[in-house]
Chains A and B, each alone.
Chain A
Amino acid sequence: MSIELVDIHKAFGEKKVLQGFSLTIASGQTMSVIGASGSGKSVTLKHIIGLLRPDAGEVWVDGENIARLDQASVYRIRRKVGFVFQFAALFDSMTIAENVAMGLERMEKYSDSEIRARVES
């Protein structure tokens, strides 16, 4: 999966978080992003999976500009991405097994019995 952010601008009210930020990650490449708290690391990652849309700029994931895709297409791309949030490691209203099963259910390539077997293994 290739990722390219081109001249991204993002502000929340008066606070400008990203101002002309660009980044290219080739397919197969591993990259770490580090920075001070509030510097925009999470905002950048959320742009890559389409949780946030840039005020200006383009976000290309596997050759598609995710900022301009409809919801169904964004969901199709998200199914290919793993993402761990800072706080929401688990859905606290569910059991551990339900948490594990949830991601597998959404991949839509396992039957219920296969999901159960994988969760219990």
Chain B
Amino acid sequence: MSGPLAGHGRDIVLDSSMHRSLAPVHALGRGALRSVAAVGRAGYLGMDAVRALRKVKLWAPHVVSQMTKVGVESVPIALFIATFTGVVLALQASYTFTGAMPLYFVGVLVGKTMILELGPVLTGLALSGRVGANIAAEIGTMRVTEQIDALEALAYDPVAYLVVPRVLAGAIMFPMVVILANGLGILAGWGTSLALLDMSSAEFLKGLRLFFEPWDVQFSTIKSISFGITVTAVGCSFGFHTSGGAAGVGKATTQAVVISSMIILVLDAFWAATLLQ
């Protein structure tokens, strides 16, 4: 197999071995172009969403129902994860500190780690699977079954109707779910310390208070707001640009979860680098 390429006024003929050797370069180029196009589409959708904020009548009636779906229905999984994270943190802290540091440092580690890192990040990652996938699948199905076209044909702005309430719900509800998760994780660590580590409540609370700063809670809240916007916006973007029927919906859902999880981890590092210095 061979193929001509135009070059410097004459045709260059590639033999099959050159085609094979250039295939990874072609694949890399196609992947890069697709990624740039996806970022561009997401950017346009973001601008449309900001403009759609003016259409309050379209998005306002749906915010509360989305807050329920995004936030309230996510509480059980977030609390489940937080509980076992708190238990493990207490046990690992005890394992690390025993014989080297006072045991009340278990309280320090459980409190600091839950609030600053594991509460927001683990909740964000779990909700990227639950909420992000749900949004991408729901909007993606609406796209491939022409329901979004039907909305537009009825003169409804689909961005105001579908995207804005979900992103607002994510920005409002993620911090609330994270605060609950932080609290329950610390309670679980406290309970573990009392039941399994031969610590007293006074010791645990002494450690918990020792390095506590109110800023830690604000930091956790800022992170979780950014995670909420990320998960819902990425889910909306992939759902909105779905094509290719049922297989396309599955692909969009997977991509939404993977990309939002990656962005959460990048944002986690970004906030630590910018706000904890």
Binding site for B on A (CB under 8 A): 46, 49, 51, 71, 75-76, 78-79, 81, 83, 85-88, 91-93, 102-103, 106
Contacts and interface: CB of A to CB of B under 8 A. Distances in A.
Interface of B: 138, 142, 145-147, 149-157
B154 A102 contact: yes
Contacts of A93: 138
A76 B155 CA distance: 7
Nearest to A50: B152
Given A86-B146, A88-B146, A51 B154 contact: no
B248 to A, nearest CB: 14
A88 B147 contact: yes
B149 A88 contact: yes
A51 B149 contact: yes
B155 A85 contact: no
A28 B150 CA distance: 24
Given A102-B154, A106-B156, A91 B149 contact: no
A49 B153 contact: yes
A78 B154 CA distance: 7
A49 B146 CA distance: 14
Contacts of A71: 157
Contact of B150 (A75, A79, A81, A85): A85
A interface SS class: loop
B interface SS class: helix
Contact of B155 (A46, A92, A106): A106
A88 B145 contact: yes
B157 A51 contact: no
Among all A-B residue pairs, the 6 with the closest Cβ atoms: A75-B155, A88-B146, A85-B146, A83-B153, A88-B150, A78-B155
Contact of A79 (B145, B147, B155): B155
Contacts of B153: 49, 51, 78, 81, 83, 85
A81 B149 CA distance: 14
A75 B142 CA distance: 20
A13 B154 CA distance: 28
Contacts of B149: 46, 51, 85, 88
A97 to B, nearest CB: 16
B152 to A, nearest CB: 6
16 contacts: A49-B152, A75-B155, A75-B157, A78-B154, A78-B155, A83-B150, A85-B149, A85-B150, A86-B146, A88-B149, A91-B142, A91-B147, A93-B138, A102-B156, A103-B154, A106-B155
Given A88-B149, A102-B154, 14 more contacts: A51-B152, A78-B155, A79-B155, A81-B153, A83-B153, A85-B146, A85-B149, A85-B150, A86-B146, A88-B145, A91-B147, A91-B151, A92-B145, A103-B154
